[in-house]
Amino acid sequence: MPLDLFHPTESHLTLRRTVRAFAEAEVAPQATAHDRQERFNLDLFRQVGARGWLGLTLPSAYGGAQQDATAAAILYEELAAADAGFTLSCLSHSVLFAHHLACCGNAEQQSRFLPDANVGRIVAGMAMSESGGGTDVIGMQTTAQRVEAGYLLNGEKMWITNGVLNDGEMGDVFLVYARTSGNGPRGLSLFLVEKGREGFTLGRGVDGRLGVRASKSAQLLFKDCLIPVENRVGEEGGAVRSMVQTLAMERLTMAAMSLGIARRALELMNQYASRRRAFGKPLRDFGQIQRHIGESYAEWMAGRTLVFHTAQRMSASSADSQLDADAAKLYCATMAKTLADRAIQVLGAYGYSGEYPVERLWRDAKLFEIGGGTLEAHQRNITRGLSRLDQLP
């Protein structure tokens, strides 16, 4: 495999080969069972940590591999091709918590949490969405009132990945957004909240979801939860700035997850079309099937090129390429769902049943049109970004 846009160095190529071998041997075999049981595979999560992949973009001072955005895209593409639900838990821990803290936290906060996060000794997440609002971040209702001993946190968060693990056990630590003043973006602040703090409890788990069922999601409740000042991340009122610093990496890696789903769907329909015969010849000899496979390959390659072009333009610690990261997730989310839908069509009744994983791929793909930024939010962001340009580069 020659070095190219998707593997600019030998290190990137080695990473892809290593992660793919692990995903095929360890992740794929457990995917169906954990999807059906709606259980998070903690042992497998720790295996990923032991290989250094939970800390892929973290500083070496905390045990991280200090790799770039291209490496992160490779990791999440390969893992998601095997099990997007499990991979989402890894991403929520590694990107939304650990990478976020590495970008925005101080040295004391980083040394307190990142070494354990790097190897999977703790399971962490980020809490922004609420029952009454997800995309409308500025409208969040959770508050953090300044008091002599720190901040009193009151409110709730919803749809929080890794909020609960299995059997009602809460995740270990979260980055929580809350309003400290006013109504605008400058009134939002960010806090580290650990499991076990008085006033911090687990609400209801979110079971019976359409897809990504091997990750666990829950409501988190805060009632006069006292947070010390040293757990505030960044300046008071500076949470939107820290949010922007990490959004590009979140959207890039989620787009890479969609790529993995799409690639697996394309592989399965291609293999099936060669093996299955109808009217005396392979399915792939029929024009209708050729259209499904041909268009799917072209769309997957277009998405793949967009993702890795964006990854190479951004550093792992900046908000560079925010416009392209929005575009990559916007395109790849729907592209993956479309390819999974075509795979179901090509496989027919087998695709609709649980005998092949394409029905799970379709269910998992839908999340990315909603989570981590809705399609409508990406369309708004792209239009807003382009309004500053008279000509495209």
pLDDT, tens digit (0-9, with 9 covering 90-100), for 258-305: 999 999 999 999 999 999 999 999 999 999 999 999 999 999 999 999
Strands 217-227 and 232-233: unpaired
Q: Is the pLDDT of residue 317 over 90?
A: no
Mean pLDDT, residues 371-390? 94
Q: Is the pLDDT of residue 323 over 80?
A: yes
Helices (H) and strands (E) in the chain, counts: 13, 10
Residues written for the chain: 393
317, 110 in Cβ contact below 8 A? no
Mean pLDDT, residues 12-41? 98
- Residue environment code for 161-192, b if the CB has 16+ CB neighbours within 10 A, otherwise e: bbbbbeeeebbbbbbbbbbbeeeeebbbbbbb
Q: Is the pLDDT of residue 148 over 70?
A: yes
What confidence score (pLDDT) does residue 315 get? 67
What tens digit of pLDDT does each residue of 204-223 get? 999 999 999 999 999 999 99
What residue spans define the domains of the chain? 10-123, 125-237, 240-386
142, 156 in Cβ contact below 8 A? yes
Cα separation, 171 vs 259, whole angstroms: 28
Annotated active-site positions, please?
Answer: 250
Question: Residue 327, exposed/middle/buried by CB under 10 A (0-12, 13-18, 19+)?
Answer: buried
From the CB of residue 118, how many other CB atoms can be counted at a distance below 10 Å? 24
What confidence score (pLDDT) does residue 132 get? 84
Per-residue DSSP letters for 90-124? HHIIIIIIIIHHHHHS-HHHHHHHHHHHHHTSS-E
Cα separation, 13 vs 19, whole angstroms: 10
Question: Considering only the top CATH level, what class is 10-123?
Answer: mainly alpha
Q: Is the pLDDT of residue 320 over 60?
A: no
Question: Considering only the top CATH level, what class is 240-386?
Answer: mainly alpha
Amino acid making up residue 246: T
What confidence score (pLDDT) does residue 4 get? 92
What confidence score (pLDDT) does residue 2 get? 59
From the CB of residue 229, how many other CB atoms can be counted at a distance below 10 Å? 11
Amino acid making up residue 26: E
Q: Is the pLDDT of residue 393 over 90?
A: no
Q: Is the pLDDT of residue 243 over 90?
A: no
Cα separation, 366 vs 359, whole angstroms: 11
Cα 229 → chain centroid: 29
Name the pLDDT band for 90 (thresholds 50, 70, 90): very high
Homologous superfamily of domain range 125-237: Butyryl-CoA Dehydrogenase, subunit A, domain 2 (2.40.110.10)
What confidence score (pLDDT) does residue 71 get? 97
Q: Is the pLDDT of residue 1 over 70?
A: no
Q: Name beta bridge partners: 164.
A: 170
Cα separation, 255 vs 261, whole angstroms: 10
The model's pTM = 0.95
